[in-house]
Amino acid sequence: MTSNLAIKLREGTKKAHSMAENVGFVKCFLKGVVEKNSYRKLVSNLYFVYSAMEEEMEKLHSHPLVSKIYFPELNRKASLEQDLQYYYGNNWREQVAPSEAAKAYIARIHEVAATQPELLAAHSYTRYLGDLSGGQILKGIAQRGMNLSEGEGTAFYEFKEIPDEKAFKAAYRQSLNEMPIDDVTADRIVDEANAAFGMNMKLFNELEGNLVKAIGQMLFNTLTRRRTRGSTELATAE
């Protein structure tokens, strides 16, 4: 019995995927505009989201459906802890807390784990497949945008236990397709994946205000420096 779930997820989330990529914060990020304070808040939120997801996946790893997409090598909690230590320092645990959007996202993960565990496939697919697909590109953008050295603040994008990401993604999609589910369940998983994209968009939207302020401050500082330099040049000429 095959469900073709991977194909249904890809086709059924195209619109939500496109919408997520067009959120202001993401568009700025993809263009190389990365503000460190906003970015570290995103890392903090992702830490709480992945912690919840990985906690539930571990508890349900023997579940007949969840077991099909249980791959501990995908886990991001430890790598996010490394990044949080870089951005916040050794006492990072005392400084971070989930935002309102993150709290809602986390609550949904715990809810589906308790009531409809098969829907965890939607959350796993939405986050991990995206991380694997664009990880190295996003890592490069983050490094250039924040002037990071190799190995600083980008552990999230490193899947050290997955040497061949392309082969792994193919195996993961095959596991999705082999989940013993009917069409109704597959459709519910697709609906949940679209909801997960929406939850991610809310995480990004929360950061837009901070990003706009930071960009405005950067522009102000640049203009101020130019005016100061111009006044100095004028005074020298006189």
Structural domains in the chain, CATH included, are 5-211 (1.20.910.10)
Q: Is 227 annotated as a binding residue?
A: no
pLDDT on residue 236:
45
Q: How far apart are CA 191 and CA 126, in angstroms?
A: 12
pLDDT on residue 151:
84
pLDDT tens for 80-109 read 999 999 999 999 999 999 999 999 999 999
Residue 75 phi, psi dihedral angles, 5° rounding:
-50, 135
Q: Is 229 annotated as a binding residue?
A: no
pLDDT tens for 201-224 read 999 999 876 655 555 444 445 555
Q: Is 172 annotated as a binding residue?
A: no
Q: How far apart are CA 73 and CA 54, in angstroms?
A: 11
In our burial notation (b when 16+ CB lie closer than 10 A, e otherwise), range 80-113 reads bbbbbebbbeeebeeebebbebbeebbebbeebb
pLDDT over 70 for what percent of the chain?
87
